[in-house]
Amino acid sequence: MSVNEVLLCYSKMIEQRLDEILQSNSDAPEVLNNAMRYSLLAGGKRLRPAIMLEFYKVLGGDPEDILNFACAVEMIHTYSLIHDDLPCMDDDDMRRGKPSCHIAFGEDIALLAGDSLLTLAFETASDVSDSIDPKNALKAINLLGKAAGMCKMAGGQVLDLQSEGKDISLDEINKIHDGKTVAMIKINAQIACVLFGADKVTYDAACDFCESIGLAFQIRDDILDVIGDEKTLGKPIGSDDSNEKNTYVSLLGLDKSVKIVNDLTNKAISNLDVFENSENLRELAQMLAGRNI
Amino acid sequence: MSVNEVLLCYSKMIEQRLDEILQSNSDAPEVLNNAMRYSLLAGGKRLRPAIMLEFYKVLGGDPEDILNFACAVEMIHTYSLIHDDLPCMDDDDMRRGKPSCHIAFGEDIALLAGDSLLTLAFETASDVSDSIDPKNALKAINLLGKAAGMCKMAGGQVLDLQSEGKDISLDEINKIHDGKTVAMIKINAQIACVLFGADKVTYDAACDFCESIGLAFQIRDDILDVIGDEKTLGKPIGSDDSNEKNTYVSLLGLDKSVKIVNDLTNKAISNLDVFENSENLRELAQMLAGRNI
């Protein structure tokens, strides 16, 4: 299978479980369930949870056993997009080629759909397969909270808001990216390793891989905001420029940024030496470096 | 000790731990930490977590062992207040006698402070004392997610939004109260019993007690919105009336509502027979029925 076929396979597993979970919550107000479904099943790449499932497989586990954790990460990613799009935040009307959640359902329902997805993420993660050591599951939930929380993802969003219209340094940009983007990519390696009970060398290598592809992913995002195709991306380009955001591209230029993405990708791949059968992860890193969507 | 002294004692334990947790997250952007602290340590009654700690004590456990779960419930309660106060929701400028979080810190920071508190709640709950069976901890986290989620607290908020300005029945009011208020009171009995490993009879009695005092608590809230003192309450009264909200008071009148609160309180107390040393819980139920704040 090509890495795209592997991703599609994981994507199907994840979407089927996400669909089941929403269906099993049919007691909730219909409009809330619909708003959550609208954003959660809007055709994302499922990149984050796919990384978790692939790492677990590479370690020797059955991805099915940790599918709920993979769904939890996707729920948290989706909640963050819904809240980021709200008028009091980035005020974005379009997401993945469709009206944002608050345009489709109103601000109040979008707010609560985000809150409910965040809550459902932890509910889902705590519903653990019998094959997982409960102590490891608690540790994984703890790491998931840290990655999504005040010191990482939510904190990164605050730093990002505070930086708009200001000149900030590359160090400050890295801090924002580390919180907003890298943490929720790295968490997939962390969860896979913790749930499998991997040793420290393995855990560190998996984390380092994700840190490098996570930063590369974000810089590629900034590059696509300049050279991307709006139709392919499903959102307007040039928003960083009009929001006066400092990015790798605005500070270092396009060519240098492309080079950094490639360097980070190579660095990421060098961490895969400790794993057998890590071909898919290598191809994934390369694909992400050159993606147009 | 009187029940008020017991509550004060729990309140101190909880606030000390909440303070420690926020301090240990000093890596987060300062404004975010400040906004979370502003709302979390704004002098709430800590009623919900106190119920959890007291039930755990009545069962024979050491409240200290489940303090993180108690803090998690308080964090979720606080996040729900911050988000409920936002302009796209109830648009309330005052809370507990102070400007609401979004008035003090802006809508964007208030939104993220709420998100971060909800996330921190699950991070905190998953950091479990060694004396607790990890399987029970996972079950408790799962129940916490359900209580705060789309079918209960967040869902109840949606039903409440949808009902404004409409004539709704007592059944529909009960459904809103069950989600918005009762679920996050009942969860304290559920968590205490699950973490202790209590049997089904005990679990059911504790839940029934909380369901009755939870509904009584909400009806007392509606009563205070008519007869309460703004200064004591720390918020304006008459908001249900001006928002055209149907309540027990608007549908059944003040006298009938007071009687229902008393009946529910007696019903709650009748569930305490299965517990030894449940004097504090009995007094708590009685105090809540007549509270002015």
Catalogue all structural domains in chain B, each as residue range(s) with its CATH number. Answer: 3-289 (1.10.600.10)
pLDDT tens for each residue of B116-162: 999 999 999 999 999 999 999 999 999 999 999 999 999 999 999 99
The distance of A108 to chain B (nearest Cα, Å) reads 5
Question: According to the model, what pLDDT value does residue B44 have?
Answer: 83
Per-residue pLDDT of chain A (293 residues; tens, 9 = 90+): 899 999 999 999 999 999 999 999 999 999 999 999 999 998 888 999 999 999 999 999 999 999 999 999 999 999 999 999 999 999 999 998 899 999 999 999 999 999 999 999 999 999 999 999 999 999 999 999 999 999 999 999 999 999 988 999 999 999 999 999 999 999 999 999 999 999 999 999 999 999 999 999 999 999 999 998 877 777 777 777 777 788 999 999 999 999 999 999 999 999 999 999 999 999 999 999 998 88
The residue in chain B having the minimum alpha-carbon distance to the alpha carbon of residue A124 is: B142
Report whether B51 contacts B188 (CB < 8 A): yes
pLDDT beyond 80 at B231: no
- Flag the least confident range among B13-27, B122-136, B226-240, B245-259: B226-240
Q: Is B31 in contact with A155 (Cβ distance < 8 A)?
A: no
- Residue with tokens 């499922």, as numbered in its chain: A46
- Span B234-263, mean pLDDT? 87
Residues of chain B in contact with residue A28, where contact means CB-CB under 8 angstroms, are 149-151, 155, 158
Residue B164 or residue B61, greater confidence: B61
Nearest alpha-carbon partner for A79 in B180, B101, B79, B185: B79
Q: Is B115 in contact with A83 (Cβ distance < 8 A)?
A: yes
Q: Is B137 in contact with A134 (Cβ distance < 8 A)?
A: yes
Q: Is A126 in contact with B108 (Cβ distance < 8 A)?
A: no
Report whether B282 contacts B272 (CB < 8 A): yes
- Span B210-221, mean pLDDT? 97
Residues of chain A in contact with residue B36, where contact means CB-CB under 8 angstroms, are 150
The residue in chain A having the minimum alpha-carbon distance to the alpha carbon of residue B143 is: A123
Nearest alpha-carbon partner for B288 in B45, B93, B99, B20: B45
CB nearest to B127's CB, from A127, A142, A154: A142
Question: According to the model, what pLDDT value does residue A266 have?
Answer: 98
The residue in chain A having the minimum alpha-carbon distance to the alpha carbon of residue B148 is: A119
Report whether A186 contacts A210 (CB < 8 A): yes
Which of A78, A158, A176, A180 is the best mutation test for B, with the most CBs of B within 10 A?
A: A158
At how many degrees (to 10) do helices B107-125 and B30-40 cross?
A: 70
Q: Left if phi > 0, otherwise alpha if psi is -120 to 50, otherwise beta: which for B87?
A: alpha
Question: According to the model, what pLDDT value does residue B97 have?
Answer: 87
The residue in chain B having the minimum alpha-carbon distance to the alpha carbon of residue A153 is: B116
The distance of B242 to chain A (nearest Cα, Å) reads 20
Residues of chain A in contact with residue B137, where contact means CB-CB under 8 angstroms, are 134, 138
CB nearest to A111's CB, from B88, B149, B150: B88
Identify the burial level of A133 via C-beta atoms within 10 angstroms of its C-beta, where 0-12 means exposed, 13-18 middle and 19 or more buried: middle
Percent of all residues in chain B with a pLDDT value above 70, rounded to a whole number: 100
Residues of chain A in contact with residue B184, where contact means CB-CB under 8 angstroms, are none
Report whether B86 contacts A111 (CB < 8 A): yes
Report whether B192 contacts B143 (CB < 8 A): no
Report whether A52 contacts A66 (CB < 8 A): yes
Q: Which two tokens stand for residue A22?
A: 């929403």
Helix or strand holding residue A195 (H, E):
helix A183-196
Measured in degrees and rounded to the nearest 5, phi and psi for residue B203 equal -55, -50
pLDDT beyond 80 at B169: yes
| CA atoms of A101 and A129, how far apart (whole Å) | 32
Residues of chain A in contact with residue B83, where contact means CB-CB under 8 angstroms, are 111-112, 115
The residue in chain B having the minimum alpha-carbon distance to the alpha carbon of residue A80 is: B115
Residues of chain B in contact with residue A145, where contact means CB-CB under 8 angstroms, are 119-120, 122-124, 126
Question: According to the model, what pLDDT value does residue A197 have?
Answer: 98
- Asked if the interface predicted TM-score (ipTM) of this complex is over 0.95, the answer is yes
| CA atoms of B34 and B113, how far apart (whole Å) | 9
Question: According to the model, what pLDDT value does residue B144 have?
Answer: 98
Question: According to the model, what pLDDT value does residue B1 have?
Answer: 86
| CA atoms of A128 and A124, how far apart (whole Å) | 8
Question: According to the model, what pLDDT value does residue B237 have?
Answer: 76
Q: Is B141 in contact with A145 (Cβ distance < 8 A)?
A: no
The distance of A30 to chain B (nearest Cα, Å) reads 9
The distance of B259 to chain A (nearest Cα, Å) reads 31
Report whether A71 contacts A14 (CB < 8 A): yes
Question: According to the model, what pLDDT value does residue B279 have?
Answer: 97
Question: According to the model, what pLDDT value does residue A236 have?
Answer: 73
The distance of A117 to chain B (nearest Cα, Å) reads 8
CB nearest to B145's CB, from A89, A122, A145: A122
Residues of chain A in contact with residue B142, where contact means CB-CB under 8 angstroms, are 123, 126-127
| CA atoms of B240 and B249, how far apart (whole Å) | 10
Which of A22, A66, A126 is the best mutation test for B, with the most CBs of B within 10 A?
A: A126
The residue in chain B having the minimum alpha-carbon distance to the alpha carbon of residue A106 is: B88
Contacts of B44 (CB under 8 A, 6+ apart): B74, B77, B78, B96
- Span B15-28, mean pLDDT? 98
CA–centroid distance for B176 within its chain: 15
Rounded to the nearest integer, the mean pLDDT of chain B is: 95
pLDDT tens for each residue of A48-96: 999 999 999 999 999 999 999 999 999 999 999 999 999 999 999 999 8
- Span B31-49, mean pLDDT? 95
Question: According to the model, what pLDDT value does residue A1 have?
Answer: 86
CB nearest to B134's CB, from A106, A115, A138: A138
